[in-house]
């Protein structure tokens, strides 16, 4: 079983900045990533989709309308057109290469593939950038997790899932995945026990409430994804 993040203080949970410091800046924006880096975040999570010509774009939704000034289908739009899109905070829509440059290896990053081929495209971008920072790959698509194991076997990879089923846990164990990332809303007491018993580190998403985060950590979570990661980390330090 591979470790999921390098460099954390032993025994301390990871408070992962979900889509950057998204409580104080637009999610998946250059500003959100720069703010998380300036605060020395435990790690930064972000989403990768592919443009029509296969370039990795950092965006969560399949269309740009929710957080950008235009509403385009990412997978049907060429990268040259997407580069002209402005987010609602006025910044340019970031590509993976842009985010790698912003982070510069200062803190670990979790690249979540949201599209088939996303891991392969991320692998090319990482190689081209000569990126040497801490990395965790993840996806809700099993094929993408298998691609990560084939293409980047030295980098940990986690399975994103709504509810951690017995099949999910078996898949993680069979393929040596580093972690499993379940939806905190679907973590019943029984599911929590089953995940803890598997020995697979689990990091629920997206946990913004401090008591809820601490309860999940007490139940065995290795960390949480949060839009308020910095606030939760400070509360943990002062508890």
Burial class (CB in 10 A: 0-12, 13-18, 19+), 139: buried
State residue 67 phi and psi, 5-degree precision. -120, 0
pLDDT, tens digit (0-9, with 9 covering 90-100), for 4-40: 666 566 678 999 999 999 999 999 999 999 999 999 9
In the chain, % of residues over pLDDT 70: 96
Position 5 scores a pLDDT of 66
First CA to last CA across the chain, in angstroms?
Answer: 30
Task: State residue 12's pLDDT score.
Answer: 86
**DSSP classification of residue 183:** B
Query: pTM, whole model, 2 decimals?
Result: 0.95
The span from the CA of 83 to the CA of 70, in Å, is: 12
For the chain, which ranges sit under pLDDT 70? 1-10
CA dist 195 and 199 (Å) reads 7
Nearest in space to 143 (alpha carbons), one of 178, 125, 162, 117: 117
Looking at residue 1, its pLDDT comes to: 40
Task: Tell me if 160 sits within 8 A of 138, measured CB to CB.
Answer: yes
d(CA 222, CA 205): 12
Q: Which pLDDT value is given to residue 157? A: 96
Q: Is 104 helix (H, G, I), strand (E, B) or coil?
A: coil
CB under 8 Å to 237, separation ≥6 — which residues? none
Give residue 11's pLDDT. 72
Domains and CATH numbers, the chain: 14-238 (3.20.20.190)
| Pairwise CA distance, residues 16 & 109, whole Å | 9
**Burial (CB count within 10 angstroms: exposed 0-12, middle 13-18, buried 19+), residue 90:** exposed
CA distance 173 to 238: 35
């Amino acid at each position: 079983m591979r470790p999921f993040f390098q460099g954390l203080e032993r025994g301390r949970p990871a408070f992962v900045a979900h889509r950057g410091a998204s409580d104080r800046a637009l999610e998946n924006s250059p500003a959100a990533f720069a703010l998380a880096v300036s605060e020395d975040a435990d790690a930064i999570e972000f989403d990768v989709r592919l443009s029509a010509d296969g370039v990795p774009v950092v965006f969560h939704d399949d269309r740009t309308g929710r957080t950008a000034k235009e509403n385009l289908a990412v997978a049907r739009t060429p990268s040259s057109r997407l580069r002209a899109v402005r987010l609602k905070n006025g910044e340019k829509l970031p590509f993976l290469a842009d985010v790698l440059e912003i982070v510069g290896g200062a803190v670990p990053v979790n690249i979540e593939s949201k599209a088939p081929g996303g891991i392969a495209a991320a692998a090319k971008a990482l190689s081209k950038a000569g990126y040497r920072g801490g990395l965790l790959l993840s996806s809700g698509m099993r094929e993408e997790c298998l691609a990560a194991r084939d293409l980047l076997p030295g980098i940990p990879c986690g399975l994103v899932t709504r509810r951690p089923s017995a099949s999910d846990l078996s898949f993680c164990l069979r393929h040596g995945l580093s972690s499993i990332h379940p939806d905190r809303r679907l973590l019943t007491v029984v599911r929590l026990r089953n995940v803890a018993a598997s020995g697979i580190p689990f990091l629920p998403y997206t946990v913004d409430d401090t008591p809820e985060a601490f309860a999940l950590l007490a139940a065995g979570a290795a960390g949480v994804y949060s839009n308020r990661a910095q606030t939760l980390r400070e509360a943990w330090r002062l508890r």
